[in-house]
Amino acid sequence: MIKYVVKPLPKVKVKLVSWEEIVDWAWNLAKIIKKDGYKPDVIVALARGGYVPGRLLCDFLDVENLLSIQSQHWTEAAKAEERAIIKFPYKVDLSNYTVLVVDDIVDTGDTLKLARDYVAEHWNPKQLKTAALQWISPVAKFKPDYYYIEVTDWTWFQYPWTRLEDTYQFIKRIVTETYKETGKKEWTYEEMVETFKEWYGIDVGDRYYKDALEILIEKKILEYNEETKKYIYIAG
Ligand code: ADE
């Protein structure tokens, strides 16, 4: 009899993005904006993904004024919530300012579009444009005025600022889906890391795996058995 193990395929294509790549992408994005002659005097970083790109654009475009607004759509790594909302709406008067709303990625396009529309309506800017490091052209309903990378094959970009969050959500997915398919509940640390690398094709390093497992224990999704040195999935 042939004995084989059923290995669920990774549900998403993932690319690990480094801090160096982020700096490079933001630098190139700044060059595109400059070349176009757009000179924002306020950058609005869309929370949370637009914070680092927005701050880097402030540096590369020599912009002193940095504001933020939170528009949320994606609450779990690589899984879409139903719709985008402005989380903490507030008003400022930007009638004397040229504004650039910045995000990390335009995926469905809902969040950046909503933020752009909100800023246009409630903050009254003199001029308003949008920018993102990446734009997923086949799925986005909204195209930013400026972007550096056009993504043509949908991918989950594992940005450095969501590394821990993504890691624990990916591990959670591994344990829940494996339990559903095989009934497996107990995992050694090594097994967990190997499966993570196999499913997602990336390696985030021990520090992230360890902290992610701690979070899953805090969230009562996993339990650690000191004697067997195994992580146990708490099903149900
Ligand atoms: N946020 C929304 N879509 C994303 C994607 N494809 N990769 C990383 N972060 C995202």
Which residues share a beta bridge with 103?
132
Rounded to whole angstroms, how far apart are CA atoms 236 and 192?
Answer: 20
Alpha helices in the chain (DSSP H): 19-35, 51-61, 110-122, 163-182, 189-200, 206-218
Which residues share a beta bridge with 44?
67, 101
67-72's contacts with Cβ under 8 Å and 24+ in sequence apart are: 67/42, 67/43, 67/92, 68/44, 69/44, 69/101, 69/115, 69/118, 69/119, 70/46, 71/46, 71/47, 71/111, 71/112, 71/114, 71/115, 71/118, 72/111
* Domain limits, the chain: 2-158, 161-233
The structural architecture, per CATH, of the domain 2-158 is 3-Layer(aba) Sandwich (3.40)
Rounded to whole angstroms, how far apart are CA atoms 48 and 9?
Answer: 30
| Residue that is written with structure tokens 């690398």 in the block | 197
Is 117 strand, coil or helix?
A: helix
Give the right CATH number for 161-233 from 1.10.10.10, 3.50.30.30, 3.40.50.740, 1.10.287.70.
1.10.10.10
Rounded to whole angstroms, how far apart are CA atoms 104 and 107?
Answer: 10
Atom of ligand 1 nearest to the CA of 158: 8
| Residue that is written with structure tokens 């890391």 in the block | 193
Which residue, judged by its Cα, is nearest atom 8 of ligand 1?
Answer: 157
Atom of ligand 1 nearest to the CA of 151: 6
Q: Which of 14, 105, 155, 165 to mutate to test the pocket of ligand 1 (most atoms within 8 A of CB)?
A: 105
For residue 227, the CA-to-ligand 1 centroid distance in Å is 39
**For residue 110, which amino acid is it?**
D
**For residue 155, which amino acid is it?**
T
pTM comes to 0.92
Tens-of-pLDDT digits for all 236 residues of the chain?
A: 444 444 455 568 999 999 999 999 999 999 999 999 999 999 999 999 999 999 999 999 999 999 999 997 655 566 555 678 999 999 999 999 999 999 999 999 999 999 999 999 999 999 999 999 999 999 999 999 999 999 999 999 999 999 999 999 999 999 999 999 999 999 999 999 999 999 999 999 999 999 999 999 999 999 999 999 999 999 86
